[in-house]
Structure 1
């Protein structure tokens, strides 16, 4: 009987495999040309680049004066005259299943999966804005894992997604449910207490598809009954999370506004600090010495203060946002001056995903050169993800993820607020050159 059953499985295996295998990616060769290219690895401009992409990966990049590559007959051309190309952008802090248009109580008017089904639209908006890779730091119902899978299968358009699944946090803390009365409150996955409980949650999120671990080390702006400066997990708990995640080959991102929580997270071995609004001189020193990356979302307060009340954001949340906004920007400048590694992250979902490119202006205003701001969203972000072989540069071996703008963003970084062409894996994902 067992032999018969095994034989049946083997007979059915080809059919089952064929039914489940996604449509194969095209092995075609694509040639991209433009007036100039920003080489984020060397920090220079390449004139008249020719980029050859085969099977979705870059095989060669040459500029003016270089030996012309051998281009197969029938290669598809994407010519971008008058334009500057740069690597597909990376946003290290997004929430695809969140929307700024619904406050915490307004959202209760809708069914449980309302925000989840809005996510594909948000993913499409981010891709059209030039972000070909995003790190989704916390979601409900493992929606970010689902978006990653659907995008990778070619079923919906969107950027490459690095999912965190549920964020880890303490009972009653920023990542817990704090808006509802006790009779309506539910146990939020990811919430645990003590080193072992949090280690267990690292394993749980990984088992369900997380590729990065998100932890809430301090209070936050958009939660209730927490203050941004409050430390909410001990250094021992944070260290347990970092050790467990690193053992499994995952990096850890810590939501941390307050100075004490930032210092504890860095000492615990957390890889990136999100927000870092109230970082002090000691936290900056620790980050610089240990190579910890700060991901500081210094644009979105502009949107929140202008539109938050109309969108249903509570006054207490608006107050917290006002109190830390300028401090965060001043500390961004201080961290940059000190030589801390900085990567681009917007907290898209707090503001519309389509506006993620607006942060470049603020990073330049608070101390970066345009090249440094672009590197924060490409080279630095790829390093922080541990994805230097795949994304973050126009270089041989990496994905053919390229964005183009009319003009020179090194002279006017705000050009990146209106990306003209987005290429992902050698295929044009968005072309706004003829848009009115």
Structure 2
């Protein structure tokens, strides 16, 4: 769609919706436009295949320039790159725009529709009541949700005081292992443990032996273990217990040696830098993230929503930049590397066979991340989001 002049972006969106409405049907209840495409006369395309064409394509790892496109069929990416589009094919064309994988928020406690409209096509819920726990799922109009269920902790430990419904307290290593088994059976895609000790170190936590037992059982069941950690004392237990990931950037009483050890072991950290700043409890979050990244650490996108507004968190992305990441590194940490934490093949990329979670934005987000604030099209599991 070629547009120019004042109001070009609004005109482009309006034109797109007209095309999508012509091609498919608008499901008002779910606010999703279902593409039901038919090939042109003489086309060899299958009926459900369509193409998205733009100037730039970010694959999840690198930027491709030129006449680039993504082909989608049956909810999957079937081709991406400098494609030759067959005559008669259904094509959505964008000028001065970038196609990229849908974004992934690795730390939420809610997944509102607004996230999907902003291009966040997958979320990971790191704390919810066991009654709501189920395997990874996706409802029309909402992001895909991957959940951990309640947080394994000890009696009186975080989060039993503030959020008891999100806690699964255990009193021994054997109880902890049984809880891992129960959560996995109910659909937990990963296991989260609570190791917050409090500013004064008075909160009880799991021991390193209990953490090792949890990690061992989770790995037997092909689950990762992420740890809620803010303080150096809890981080020491997480490191001794062999966790796979840290769910916040540790920010209180953390030593340079601990940050170096995190980076050396290649344990990724989900930043949540914005919510740490808002809380006023973590003055060293960005500084620790900067030291972590400087030593080769992997920082991933996560917001701790609903503790921040229920949208794509541009402030979080900006703080990742302030911590020393390039715009491309921030995008990789919000797409491909985030997808690797979820166990869904090729999620966060535009590789052949990847889920068709696709975002088209005005401009080039590998140069200016704020381009992500201007989505022209969001595709979730092959369906266009209104």
- The structure 2 residue matched to 1:274, chosen from 247, 250, 265, is 247
How high is the TM-score relative to the length of structure 2?
A: 0.81
Alignment match, 2:144: 160
| Contact 1:62–1:68 (CA under 8 A) maintained in structure 2 | no
Of 355-364 and 156-165, deviating more is: 355-364
2:92 is the counterpart of 1:92: no
- Measured against aligned partners, the alpha-carbon deviations of 1:53-80 in whole angstroms (never above 9, x if no partner) come to 11111111122xxx51557x5x543222
| Contact 2:35–2:384 (CA under 8 A) maintained in structure 1 | no
For the aligned residue pairs, the C-alpha RMSD in angstroms reads 2.5
Offset of residue 82 of structure 1: 2.0
| Contact 1:198–1:241 (CA under 8 A) maintained in structure 2 | yes
| Contact 1:164–1:211 (CA under 8 A) maintained in structure 2 | yes
Task: Provide the rounded CA distance (Å) in 1 between the counterparts of 2:166 and 2:366.
Answer: 45
| Contact 2:77–2:354 (CA under 8 A) maintained in structure 1 | yes
Offset of residue 269 of structure 1: 2.0
| Contact 2:268–2:299 (CA under 8 A) maintained in structure 1 | yes
- The structure 2 residue matched to 1:290, chosen from 265, 283, 307, is 265
Task: Provide the rounded CA distance (Å) in 1 between the counterparts of 2:177 and 2:238.
Answer: 15
Offset of residue 217 of structure 1: 1.4
2:382 is the counterpart of 1:426: yes
- The structure 1 residue matched to 2:353, chosen from 364, 380, 397, is 397
SS at match of 1:382: helix
2:281 is the counterpart of 1:299: no
| Contact 1:405–1:420 (CA under 8 A) maintained in structure 2 | yes
Alignment match, 2:209: 236
- The 1:228–1:395 alpha-carbon spacing in structure 2 relative to 1, beyond 3 Å, is farther
Task: Provide the rounded CA distance (Å) in 1 between the counterparts of 2:99 and 2:309.
Answer: 25
Offset of residue 353 of structure 1: 1.8
| Contact 1:142–1:166 (CA under 8 A) maintained in structure 2 | no
Alignment match, 1:338: 295
Offset of residue 231 of structure 1: 6.6
2:315 is the counterpart of 1:358: yes
| Contact 2:147–2:188 (CA under 8 A) maintained in structure 1 | yes
How high is the TM-score relative to the length of structure 1?
A: 0.72
SS at match of 1:323: coil
- The 1:402–1:187 alpha-carbon spacing in structure 2 relative to 1, beyond 3 Å, is closer
| Contact 2:160–2:166 (CA under 8 A) maintained in structure 1 | yes
Task: Provide the rounded CA distance (Å) in 2 between the counterparts of 1:89 and 1:228.
Answer: 36
Unaligned runs of 5+ in 1: 1-23, 97-121, 180-185, 221-225, 305-320, 431-436
Alignment match, 1:252: 225
Q: Which has the larger share of helix? A: 1
2:77 is the counterpart of 1:68: no
- Measured against aligned partners, the alpha-carbon deviations of 1:243-294 in whole angstroms (never above 9, x if no partner) come to 1111111111110111132232133221110113234322222222222111
Offset of residue 143 of structure 1: 2.7
Alignment match, 1:182: none
Offset of residue 187 of structure 1: 8.0
Alignment match, 2:336: 379
- The structure 2 residue matched to 1:33, chosen from 36, 53, 57, is 53
Question: Which runs of structure 2 are paired with 1:144-223 in the superposition (5 Å)?
Answer: 145=134, 148-149=136-137, 151=138, 154=139, 156-178=140-162, 190-219=168-197
- The 1:297–1:219 alpha-carbon spacing in structure 2 relative to 1, beyond 3 Å, is same
SS at match of 2:183: helix
SS at match of 2:105: strand
| Contact 1:195–1:236 (CA under 8 A) maintained in structure 2 | yes
Task: Provide the rounded CA distance (Å) in 1 between the counterparts of 2:71 and 2:50.
Answer: 6
| Contact 2:158–2:203 (CA under 8 A) maintained in structure 1 | no
SS at match of 1:145: coil
Offset of residue 339 of structure 1: 0.4
Alignment match, 2:285: 328
| Contact 2:133–2:186 (CA under 8 A) maintained in structure 1 | no
SS at match of 1:132: strand
SS at match of 2:250: coil
Task: Provide the rounded CA distance (Å) in 2 between the counterparts of 1:371 and 1:207.
Answer: 38
Unaligned runs of 5+ in 2: 1-33, 37-46
Q: Once superposed, which parts of structure 1, at least 4 consecutive aligned residues long, lie more than 4 Å away?
A: 24-27, 186-189, 226-231
- The structure 1 residue matched to 2:66, chosen from 17, 32, 47, is 47
SS at match of 1:300: helix
| Contact 1:229–1:258 (CA under 8 A) maintained in structure 2 | no
SS at match of 2:274: coil
| Contact 1:378–1:393 (CA under 8 A) maintained in structure 2 | yes
SS at match of 1:165: coil
2:365 is the counterpart of 1:412: no
| Contact 2:235–2:250 (CA under 8 A) maintained in structure 1 | no
| Contact 1:167–1:216 (CA under 8 A) maintained in structure 2 | yes
| Contact 1:358–1:416 (CA under 8 A) maintained in structure 2 | no
